Structure 1
Amino acid sequence: MAIQKPKSIKSWAIGAVVLVAAVALAAFQFRGDSGATPKTLTIAGIAYPFEGRQVYNGLTGVVIRDGWLKQELAKRGIALALTPVPTAVGAPLINEGFSGKRVDFAAYGDFPAIIAVSGGVPLRLVAPMGQGLHSYLVVRNGLAANNIADLKGKRIALHRGRPWELPFSKLLDANGLRQSDFKIVNINPAATPAALASGNIDAAFLLSDGLLLEQKGAGRVIWSTKQGPADWRMRAELFGRGDFVDDHPELTQLVVNAYVRAAAWSAQDANRDRVIRDSARGSMPVEIIARDYANDGIPWRERFSPTYTRELIDHYRSVADYAFARGLVRNKVDVDKLIDRRFVGPALRDAKLEGFWSPVAPPQTQAQLAVPGAS
């Protein structure tokens, strides 16, 4: 079968994204500002079609399946509304929902959240969600490149404004490089495999999609955040809209309780295989999810820790500083105002989970402390 030319691929991808975004935005139910008890509580989350229905990624999927939050809200006469957000449009659509007060909570990435707050959206980080996600640098077959420096002057696919842009930029900085040293091609991950196979790009920076490309023989991974400091991993947390959190702390507590319960279920070794299978219900095979988790030194239980560690706070300060210093945002974000510690402690006590997770993140290994990307 002939490979489509990148122009056609890109046009198709953009058209699909616009269509999906329009449908998803239409699904948001508008609610104006009010201190009165809301009739619905809306959570947005990354979702994808599976066996004729939308399934939600990560802890949001566990919260939905558990049903506890829906029941607790129903006791108070409040409906739980779920807004599926396609991976292709992801965080920008969630930011739009927060900005328009059509979303109350969302579990999504660190960098997009910093962008939203810098733009005036009053988000609060109400519950951490683990130790972060890995990113991968993949080069096309036949290209003699073994590290990022070998790609200088080459075409690299990078979906701009997505959470993995930050670890990519940090990788460049660590090696004395700039984005201007490369030809950055801004395409979404769905369009990347064909572009890589056709030779229209030389490399791509992705999440676990990078492992899938390697498995399919479309390229090879030459670097990942498993080789970098823990701070480089993309993080995703549970964020709430600031005015909703302040107006309805008791409802916010219920949401955080539900996510902490979901984290505790996911953190049990007995549920590991189920977590991996559920994560693979999208386009990722089970073996890719398992490989993404492997060999990074993070204990299974700690992957889902909702505790506020010094490492987490330093990470968000680093993201805020970095984004502002590089001109990625116009206004410096005050991380102390972003982080809201009021809810996790009571959630842990309510679920009798005090001491279940370590109070601090696992130490970095010597491999993680090595100079990233060095040949």
Structure 2
Amino acid sequence: MANAKRTSLFSKTSVATALAALLMMPLAHADVLRIGVASAGGGDPVTFSGSSLGIVRNQQLLEKAFAGTDTEVQWFFFKGAGPAVNEALSNQQLDFAYEGDLPAVVGRSNGLDTKLLAAIGVRSNVYLAVPKGSDIKTIEDLKGKKVAVFRGTNAHLVSIKLLADKGLTERDLKVINLDSGSSQAALASKGVDAAFGGRELFKLRDQGLIDIIFDNPDNNVRYTRQCALVVRGDYEKQHADNVQKVVNVLVDAARWESESANRDAVLNEWAKTNEPLASLKADFERLDLRDSASPLADGFLRGRYQAVADQAKDEKMIRRPVSVEGWFDTRYLDNALKAKGLEHYWTAYGADGKTSNAATASTDASANNGG
């Protein structure tokens, strides 16, 4: 009998303890909003640079926008860049993604159901670097050389275009597929003769390890790469309010980034990735942050994405042609711009990236039909 009483008392105590612990636990989120970033990122907590979405991450603007709701914001960073992001989208492990033009085009060609909502970080340059003291001085000198390229990323097609404009193809080189970190290590150790990359190369240059022999001195938009925010089609259909809130926050961050008075603050925000501030300054030296931050799906953005799609098909990177028609869904962006009085804040450029063309701004007939 004594044992029975002890068992009963123990059971009651256990139940009471469990209930108390349950009441003390934070309420579980009924909904999760998952954002994928096509970069390994850096810093603590991990963040990324070069776009208004990085500012959103650093300042926890989405977390603040969804505070008090049942939605938890989660961020995921991918060392495998765009191709890895596409795989996660395909497996429904992400709802939104920040990725470059080529991976997004490849995903769409393969039947990935996404909608492109807004530009995030456009006109990014691609650089060509060689080990210090190399006798390679021009792109033409790459013939027969061992060259590092991160295949499948939005810098890949730019490198192909640069080679083509100098009468070369990848078959004229010994191309090695290396991610950003591996490419830097190979350059520093002279394991490759040259490498195409982004602003991470400036750190090696400033350390005296490499020379940058091409930096797009004329700001030719054909040699730039674009990034955008995409949303998984099913998520957009089921959570339109969340999509609108995300775009609203993105527009606010883009506006802040675009103000010339905030330039130093923006670069310092991006430096939280542990990237040298000098590298960020060098990369954006000739680029107006207002143009880089512009979220508009204007003639320039549409033209660049279509050009990437056409080139990817020509290079046999995709089997099926891709049209930007029906892919760009600017309803949410239009709503945000109108609500904030920013319809004419950013310049809507034509396909050449120079001529203002208001007719190609985000509002058009196709946008009203979801694309």
Q: Same fold (TM over 0.5)?
A: yes
Q: Provide the residue aligned with 1:61 in structure 2.
A: 54
Residues 251 and 239 of structure 1, relative CA distance in 2, 3 Å threshold: same
Q: Which residue of 1 aligns with 2:261?
A: 270
Aligned to 1:100: 91
Question: Does residue 165 in structure 1 map to residue 156 in structure 2?
Answer: yes
**1:185 Cα deviation (Å)?**
1.3
Equivalent residue in structure 2 for 1:186, among 161, 169, 177: 177
1:74 is displaced (CA, Å) by 4.2
RMSD: 2.1
Aligned counterparts of 1:41 and 1:189: Cα–Cα separation in 2: 28
Is the aligned partner of 1:315 residue 2:315? no
CA–CA distance in structure 2, aligned partners of residues 77 and 198 of structure 1: 50
Q: Which position in structure 1 is the counterpart of 2:25? A: none
For residues 68 and 216 of structure 1, what CA distance do their matches in structure 2 show?
35
Task: Check whether the contact 2:297–2:328 (CA below 8 A) recurs between aligned residues.
Answer: no
CA change 1:101–1:288 in 2 (3 A) is same
Map 1:80-119 → 2, pairs under 5 A? 80-83=73-76, 85-86=77-78, 88-119=79-110
1:258 corresponding residue in structure 2: 249
AA aligned opposite 1:340: D
- Say whether 1:44 aligns with 2:27: no
Greater shift in the superposed pair: 117-126 or 227-236? 227-236
Structure (1 or 2) with the larger CA radius of gyration:
2
CA contact (8 A) 1:193 1:218 kept: no
- Helix, strand or coil at the partner of 1:253: helix
SS in 2 for 1:336: coil
- TM-superposed CA distance for 1:207, in Å, is 0.6
Deviations 1:21-78 (A, max 9, x none): xxxxxxxxxxxxxxxx97121112245342x422244323322344453344345532
CA distance in 2, matches of 1:89, 1:187: 10
1:147-195 per-residue CA deviation (whole Å, 9 max, x = no partner) reads 1111110111111112110100001111121101000111222122332
- Offset, 1:269: 1.7
Which sections of structure 2, spanning at least 5 residues, go unmatched?
1-28, 356-371
Q: 2:314 matched to which residue of 1?
A: 325
Matches within 5 A, 1:282-361: 282-295=273-286, 298-360=287-349
Q: Residue 73 in 1 paired to residue 66 in 2?
A: yes
Structure 1: which 5+ residue stretches go unaligned? 1-36, 365-375
For residues 228 and 301 of structure 1, the distance between their equivalents in structure 2, rounded to whole angstroms, comes to 15
1:89 is displaced (CA, Å) by: 1.8
1:214 to 201, 205, 210: 205
- Cα shift at 1:282: 2.6
Amino acid at match of 1:44: G
- Residue 56 and residue 283 in structure 1: after superposition, are their counterparts in 2 closer, same or farther (change >3 A)? closer
Q: CA deviation at 1:206?
A: 0.6
The secondary structure found in structure 2 opposite 1:54 is: coil
Kept in 2, the 8 Å contact 1:263–1:306? The answer is: yes
Residue 56 of structure 2 aligns with an amino acid whose one-letter code is V
Identity of aligned residues (%): 30
